Structures are given as C-alpha cells and as structure tokens.
Structure 1
Amino acid sequence: MRIGLVGFGFGGRRFHLPYIQAAEAWELVGVVTRSAARRAELAEDAPGVPAVDDLEALLDRGVDVVVITTPPETRRELVLAALARGVHVVADKPFAPTADGGRELAAAAREAGLLLTVFHNRRWDTDLRTLAGVLESGELGPVRRAVSRFDVDEPDTLEAGPAHGLLRDLGSHQVDQMTHLFGSVVRVDAHLDHVRVDGQDVDAGYVLGLHHRDGVFSQVTASKVFHLTERELTIHAERGSYVSRMTDVQTEQILAGEHPGTAENWGVEDEERWGVISTAAGRRAVPSAVGDYAEFYRELHAALAAGRGFSVTLEQAVHTLEILDAARTADAEGRSVPL
C-alpha cells in the first residue's frame, strides 16, 4: 500500500518516518514539507522519497493513507480534506482540541466509509508492553490501583495557544495507555500546573485521577518544569504489586542515531531497570518486553488489507478527548467530573 506523510518536523522525522520504514509493508510516496532544511533531512533519511509542497500535491501522487503530523491547530482541515479525497487517515495526537471536535471528524470518516485513526503509538512503549504481559499472566490477580508518571525536564518545548499544553500532548498518550489497559472512565479528578508562555497560561504539569468503569483507579501524572526526568508504572493488585522505572527506550535510541529497522535489541530496556513484582512469595525482576512503534504501522496495514477495523478505534480516541475535557473542567471548578 502507498502512504504519504504530511509534515516533517521533529514528530514526522523521529516518530513516524523510521517506523513506517521499519514496518516494510508500506511504500512511502511523498512527504509534505516546504522547508529547505527539512527537505535536505528527508533526502538523507529517505533517499528517493520526494518532498511536495502541500496535501493536494501528495494526494495527486496516489496514496491509500496519509499521516497528518502538522501542528494541532492545522489538523482538522487536513483530515477533512484527505477524507474528502477518499484517503484513509492517521492523525497525530491530539487529533482534535476537544471531544466535540473529535466527534465531528469521526462522523466525517464514517460518512466517507474510510478509516480514521490516531497515532497512539505509546501503546507499544517498552514499559507498557512489559506491564501488559504481567497483567495477562494473572499472577497479581485483579488490579485495584495504578500509577503512570512521566516527568521530563523540557520547559523550553512548551507552546502557547488553545490547542497546546502538556495535558493535550503527553496526557493524550498516558490517558490512552490507562484506558487501553483498564477500560473506560466514568469520573475524572484533576489538578493542572500552569505557567506563562508568551503571555498565555499553559498547563505544564498535571495529576489526573481516573475512575474506571470496572473499578480500577488510575493516577496519571506528568510535568515539564520541575527539572526531573523519570518514568514510573506502579500496579497495586489483589496478590501483590509491580513497579517499573524504565526509560523512554525507543526515543533514546532514535535520538542516539539508531533505527528500528536495523538496530540490535530495539526497544529493550537494560536489565538494571527491569520492573519488579512483589508478592507473598518474594520479589523478582520481570525481563523487558520489546517495545516497537512500527507495530502500529504493521497492524494498520494488516487491518486495511483484510478490510477490518484497527485496534486504535475512533471511539477510544474520542473517549480520551472526553477525559481530557473533563480534566480541564475538574481543575477549573475544583470538583470531580462524571462522564
């Protein structure tokens, strides 16, 4: 199948192109970027793949799927334009600024009879895949509580504007991870940390309390401004606990110049950072699973080839937006918000 990439900033270059290449089933037929510097980077990273000026030029080359990686405020129009041309769409997160915006795009995709999905690639994070294996084993029994913490020391990357903020960015991923593992959410508590960026208030940190329909309570927390870089996944369950402090393995490998299609031990955490299960029988380390964002593109290709739905559904993506909307309301009004 033929795929095109719209946007070649940090996300397009580091979080999409290498994994499209590693998935191997796709033919990349073009990348939308007008920047001379980015065109030079494309020529280095993907020799022979042409750069084009805009979405229409890319669609004219004949594509089955387009991947929209441009800034959030531009995505609505690009998604609608691609759907109008009869092309399936992968939208970066957040694929809309609010749940109502997400429902609009979902309705457009249903009307067109096309697949629209969201790049929730962090379902394939190394630490999350390892945790999923622990839960699937049943060793710990039913989960009572979960904590997902993702602190990064990146204050200079905060952007101002109604479509930005850490909650919409990293929060989209963390919320999707928790609902992927524990199901839908019925009530949301939240506290947001705000800072001033270019004269505007921007959320630079958050703590969310998610009450899942099946009884699990998960806490999702992250920050960009406290000079701390650390990840944590903690599970409290009927027969014990699991604690992981793995790193952002794949991102570190990409930034070190490695490629998911060629690197040895791609997406595998070093043994000294493996997670630990604690039960009445004692404590033991759990070997790292393999994290690989290319699985998103492999599974997408398989779903389209078979004419079936994709695992990252629009219903799930809209539910993530509903939770983010509720979190902003909970913080602003100082109350729990039911869904």
Structure 2
Amino acid sequence: MSKVIKTGVCSYGMSGQVFHAPFLHVNPGFEFTAVVERSKNLAQERYPDVKVYRSLEEMLADKSLELIVVNTPNYTHYEYAKAALEAGKNVIVEKPFTVHAGEGKELAALAKSKGLLLSVYHNRRYDSDYKVVRKIIESGVLGDVLEAEIHYDRFKEELSYKKHKEVGGPGTGALYDLGSHLIDQVLTIFGMPKAVWADIRVIRKDSIVDDYFELVLYYDKLRARVKCSYLVREALPAYQIHGRIGSFIKTKSDIQEAQLQRGLFPNSPDWGAEAPHEWGLLHTEINGEVVKKFVPGENGNYMDYYQGVYEAIANNAPNPVVPEDAIRVVEVIEAAFQSSETGKVVTLPA
C-alpha cells in the first residue's frame, strides 16, 4: 500500500483500546497518529509514537490527519462528527450513528457536499456468528424465512463502570447500545421493515436506563424479533432462524472482543476462529432428503471493515457501511421508543 492514512481517535477508553487502535496499528494502510486523552497518556504506553491531544479542537487542528474516529459517548456523535467534517476530515462514527435520524441525515449531506467519507462502525456485521447466519439465509437452504429471532443477552445486575452509559439522557440504554447491532444485522439481511412494535423496560434494581427490550419488526411474510435482557443467566441461542423448509440455530460465539481484551492484535494466529462446539445447527431438506448437521463458523474479522474504509478513501471503492444504513437503524430505534410508550405498532418510513 503506497498511501498511508494518518488517523486520529477521539478517545482511548475501552472502545479506542479494543476496537480501533489495534486495527489501525496492524493495517499498513493506516497510521494511528493521534488520540484525545483529557489527562492521561495511556495510548503512548502501548503506541509510543502516538500524539496525545487534550481536546478534540487541538486534534482537529492537526493538518496531517486525514481520518477521525468518533468513539465518544453517543450524545456527542453528531457534534463531534460535524466538527471533524467541517475541519475537512474523513470520519468513522461509532454506532449508534446519532441519537436522532435527522442528525444523521444532516451529517450525510455535509459529508457529500465536502466530498468526504462518512462511515459508521457497525462492526458486528463482521462477527463470525452473524457471517454464517447470513450465508445460510442467503443460500436459500431454509426456503422463505418466516421467523428470525436475535438475542444479545447478559447477566449483570450491577451497573457499568462506564458512567456515561448509566446516566439517563439522549442515546443511553441498551436499545441504543446493543440494539443498534441487532437492528443493523436484521436490516442488512432483510431490508427496512414496514412497522415495529416494542417493549422497552428497566429491570435492574439500581438502573435508570433501559436494560431490557423486545422488538418485533414487521415484513410481508417475515417477523423478525430482536431481544436483549441484562438478567439472563442461562442464555438461549443468539440466532433462531426458521424458514419454510428448515431452521438454523446458532450461539453468539464471536471471539474477537475477547481476543482484543487479552491484548492480542488482529494479525494473531486463528484470529476470529470459532470452536467446533459453537457451530450452528442446520435442520432442513435438500434435494428431497432431510439434513441435520452442524455448520462450521466463518472467521470473524473487524479488519474487513477497516480495509473497506481504506479502499474507499485511497481507491474510491464503496463505503463499507454507508450513513444511510445507520440512519435507518436510528429510525427503527426512535419508532421503537414511540411504540413502547404508546403500546401501538408504529409504521416506519419506506
């Protein structure tokens, strides 16, 4: 790669340490050039050459930077992404893209007017479990899919150490946090639903943000459910897909986050490889014969997203996650809150 994209990361908490810096460091098309840390120098302990800025304004003034990663609390995404675009930088925004769909549309228009890349880090498209689920569905081996249920469950009564996630306010709670992943996965396979019904609740004793949700997304023949609870000790399979002639059942098994938290880099051996006991169960009929077998997982790799961003900036290739996709996710979230508050099914924009 002849071009090297100098990149600044807006924060170095868990997201910066785990989901961004290692990929920027390993991919030869990027340079992890700068980071914002208000008072610490944690990034330099692992990446000695990185510049540390004490504010976003200081980092955006760095003319060498071509790409900015906005990985700050959800309510800041619109403001920080807008500032970066206005500074002439290409931008990656963490999910959820913005708190309100209208903000996302404004950012998309701004990026287009300036000829800049604006991409959203929906990294769970590159999970091993989701990749094999999508492959099975798109192969047609289940027939017409009639029911799809995706879970992202935890068992955690205590509040998060990430204080910004537990303070009530715009963009907080499980639906914006984990729901963004699930909704994006459904929309990526099946497209935009016609309507949504939702039940969104607070179930932990000391919580003031939603930590339980169930959404039903309405399509012509398909009903897709996305569910999350922070109080599930014995989790069901994360993916339960039922078609006219078959079913596919799959655990949530991507290991990349665990590998990254152990300090591994994404060029490590067996990166993103699933263990055989996590393989999904396919039960269907093929050429008149009933088939019941376990299907090997596909290796997960978030680097595919970053490589896509590189190709989009350096070679004018397609954006791996366009803002319009992420705007639709936010539209579903906003409609879900409306549904939960009113107890009614809410129609979604076409």
The partner residue of 1:206 within 205, 209, 213 is 213
Paired amino acid for 2:135: G
1:30 equivalent in alignment to 2:41 = no
Cα displacement (A) at 1:141 = 2.4
Cα displacement (A) at 1:312 = 1.0
Paired amino acid for 2:106: E
1:172 matched residue in structure 2: 180
Pairing of 1:35-46 with structure 2 (within 5 A): 35-36=39-40, 39-40=41-42, 42-46=43-47
Distance 1:88 1:197, change over 3 A: farther
1:3 equivalent in alignment to 2:4 = no
2:75 matched residue in structure 1: 73
Distance 1:231 1:29, change over 3 A: farther
Paired amino acid for 2:321: V
Alignment check: 8 A CA contact 2:10 2:72 kept:
yes
1:112 equivalent in alignment to 2:114 = yes
Structure 1: gaps of 5 or more residues: none
Question: After superposition, what is the alpha-carbon deviation per residue over 1:26-77, rounded to whole angstroms, capped at 9, x for unaligned?
Answer: 11211111232xx23x123223112112223323141111001111222222
Paired amino acid for 1:22: V
Question: After superposition, what is the alpha-carbon deviation per residue over 1:258-305, rounded to whole angstroms, capped at 9, x for unaligned?
Answer: 22122x211111101110100141310100101011111001111122
Alignment check: 8 A CA contact 2:166 2:208 kept:
no
Distance 1:300 1:90, change over 3 A: same
1:216 matched residue in structure 2: 222
Cα displacement (A) at 1:251 = 1.4
Pairing of 1:152-167 with structure 2 (within 5 A): 152-155=154-157, 156-157=159-160, 158-162=165-169, 163-167=171-175
Q: TM-score, normalised on structure 2?
A: 0.89
Distance 1:306 1:229, change over 3 A: same
**1:224 and 1:217 mapped to 2: Cα distance?**
23
Moved more, 226-235 or 101-110: 226-235
Distance 1:154 1:255, change over 3 A: farther
Q: Tell me, what secondary structure is at the counterpart of 1:114?
A: coil
Structure 2: gaps of 5 or more residues: none
Q: TM-score, normalised on structure 1?
A: 0.92
1:252 equivalent in alignment to 2:252 = no
Paired amino acid for 2:319: F
1:292 equivalent in alignment to 2:301 = yes
Alignment check: 8 A CA contact 2:204 2:230 kept:
no
Paired amino acid for 2:166: E
Distance 1:291 1:196, change over 3 A: closer
RMSD over aligned CA atoms reads 1.9
Question: After superposition, what is the alpha-carbon deviation per residue over 1:175-211, rounded to whole angstroms, capped at 9, x for unaligned?
Answer: 001101111111001111224787x741101011112
**2:64 and 2:156 mapped to 1: Cα distance?**
39
2:89 matched residue in structure 1: 87
Q: Tell me, what secondary structure is at the counterpart of 1:28?
A: strand
Alignment check: 8 A CA contact 2:146 2:242 kept:
yes
1:265 matched residue in structure 2: 270
Paired amino acid for 1:75: H
Distance 1:98 1:196, change over 3 A: farther
**1:161 and 1:140 mapped to 2: Cα distance?**
42
Moved more, 267-276 or 299-308: 299-308
Q: Tell me, what secondary structure is at the counterpart of 2:59?
A: helix
**2:182 and 2:88 mapped to 1: Cα distance?**
31
The partner residue of 1:16 within 20, 30, 43 is 20
Q: Tell me, what secondary structure is at the counterpart of 2:282?
A: strand
1:182 equivalent in alignment to 2:190 = yes
Aligned length: 333
**2:205 and 2:27 mapped to 1: Cα distance?**
38
Q: What is the percent sequence identity of the aligned residues?
A: 34
